[in-house]
Amino acid sequence: MNDKNTCACGTAPKLIFACSGAADVGAIADQAARKLTKDGAGKMFCLAGIGGRVPGIMETAKSAAKILAIDGCPLNCVKNTLEQAGFKKFEHLQVADLGMEKGKTPPVPEVVAKVAEVGASKLVC
């Protein structure tokens, strides 16, 4: 793991959980999380593992230095999944809050980059 994935206070990872829903804003959330991972801002992690309460995934998430939830639309599936699994302390980013409308916002690189930029700012320790 490179230094960009850790906070100055330790070596715990910064984890990113994203919507990967069928709508365009879900695709944007997913691609932004992948871009953040590629850029070294954090590590995309398995939201389905949180929903399924997979022990190893739950333990890794509990030990994270920081968690970012990226939701595509106001349904907030990522946020709700984390909360229902007992996570209370995490950053949240909703693509719709950035003016990107469900069904009307193609997941083009410029849009994905904008979401990733906002997400990166939320991962800073």
Q: Are 57 and 50 in contact (CB under 8 A)?
A: yes
Tens digit of each residue's pLDDT (9 = 90 or more) over 58-74 = 999 999 999 999 999 99
∠ CA 93-24-49, rounded to 5°: 60
* Per-residue confidence (pLDDT) for residue 2, from 0 to 100: 46
* Per-residue confidence (pLDDT) for residue 10, from 0 to 100: 61
* Per-residue confidence (pLDDT) for residue 125, from 0 to 100: 81
Nearest to 62 by CA among 84, 42, 40, 85: 85
Q: Are 16 and 76 in contact (CB under 8 A)?
A: no
**What span, in angstroms and rounded, lies between the C-alpha atoms of 4 and 20?**
24
pLDDT of 6 over the 50 cut: no
